[in-house]
Amino acid sequence: MARTCIRCGKPYEGRIDKKFCCDDCRTDYHNQIRRERDSRFRTVNRILASNWKILSAALREGRDKLSVAELADRNFNFEVYTNSRRLLPGRRTYWCYNCAYRVSRSGTVHIWEGGCQNNAYL
């Protein structure tokens, strides 16, 4: 009984559990599945990298406070971050890799680099 390759559709012969006509089809098929599965991760990583560049550029400019509007103008995505924690009541701190930030009620974003234990904004 001839079976067809699940990637290219060509008929092939071989073991009963064989699904592909050749190694290239098998590799291409699994690479496509991985690409589709991992596309969400690549999208999130792209956003995180962009956010980190924005925060670290502000720190290199000597600015540790920006407005929410200014970050939004720079295409900062406030919905994506690597970690968040409520360290004090009413104060949530967010991290984007090694850059941390906190948004005050007045709309000012306080930015710093490094861990949370040495920061006065917490």
| Strands 83-88 vs 65-67: parallel, antiparallel or unpaired | unpaired
Question: Sign (positive/negative) of CA torsion 97, 76, 81, 48?
Answer: negative
- How far apart CA 92 and CA 79 sit, in angstroms, is 13
pLDDT at residue number 1: 65
> What is the per-residue pLDDT across 15-74, written as a single tens digit (0 to 9) for each?
999 999 999 999 999 999 999 889 888 999 999 999 999 999 999 999 999 999 999 999
Q: What are the CA-CA distances from residue 55 to residues 16, 49, 121 (Å)?
A: 56, 10, 16
3, 11 contact by CB (below 8 A): yes
Confidence tier at 120 by pLDDT (50, 70, 90) = very low
Which tokens sit at 4?
A: 């067809």
Per DSSP, the three-state class of 84 is strand
Average pLDDT for the chain: 90
Three-state DSSP at 34 gives: helix
Please give the pLDDT value at position 91. 85
pLDDT of residue 36: 87
φ, ψ for residue 26, nearest 5 deg: -60, -45
